[in-house]
Amino acid sequence: MKIAIGADHGGYKLKEIITAYLKRKKFEFKDFGTYSEESVDYPDYAYPVAEAVARGEYDRGILICGSGVGVCITANKVKGIRAVLVHDTYTAKQSREHGDANVLCLAGRRLSKAQATKIVAVWLKTEFSGDERHLRRIRKIER
């Protein structure tokens, strides 16, 4: 599975933790930045990640800002992206099983290292159920 990951300054520290986890677990990924805690604008990182996923260059995206809100709003502007702001493993699992979410958004200033790593682990391993009712709903979103 190929993963695109990006963050603004509010998500930078958590991105470092998540990329270390991805490395440890031998996931293939590209880090789209930012690379420090210097203030930047989250759309400059959220759009490239979301667009790369939408083009099919990556299977999933992970975006992090302070609250997770800004990157999630941005990513959902890109056609074909189903970005979800997740604070717990229940939502992580359901967003994949029911919503076939392809971009995970996290709050760098709200989640502990352990919480965030658990969410990422669950979200990456959970497959879309493929159930007809969920497919129907996703098609309605697309239309």
> Three-state SS string across the chain, please?
CEEEEEECCCCHHHHHHHHHHHHHCCCEEEECCCCCCCCCCCHHHHHHHHHHHHCCCCCEEEEEECCCHHHHHHHCCCCCCCEEECCCHHHHHHHHHCCCCCEEEEECCCCCHHHHHHHHHHHHHCCCCCCHHHHHHHHHHHC
Active-site entry in 9, 65, 72, 105:
65
10 binds ligand RB5 (CB under 6 A): yes
47 binds ligand RB5 (CB under 6 A): no
65 catalytic residue (yes or no)? yes
6 binds ligand RB5 (CB under 6 A): no
12 binds ligand RB5 (CB under 6 A): no
98 catalytic residue (yes or no)? yes
Exactly one of 17, 18, 22, 65 binds ligand RB5 (CB under 6 A); which one? 65
Exactly one of 42, 47, 58, 123 binds ligand RB5 (CB under 6 A); which one? 42
The residues binding ligand RB5 (CB under 6 A) are: 8, 10, 42, 65-67, 69-70
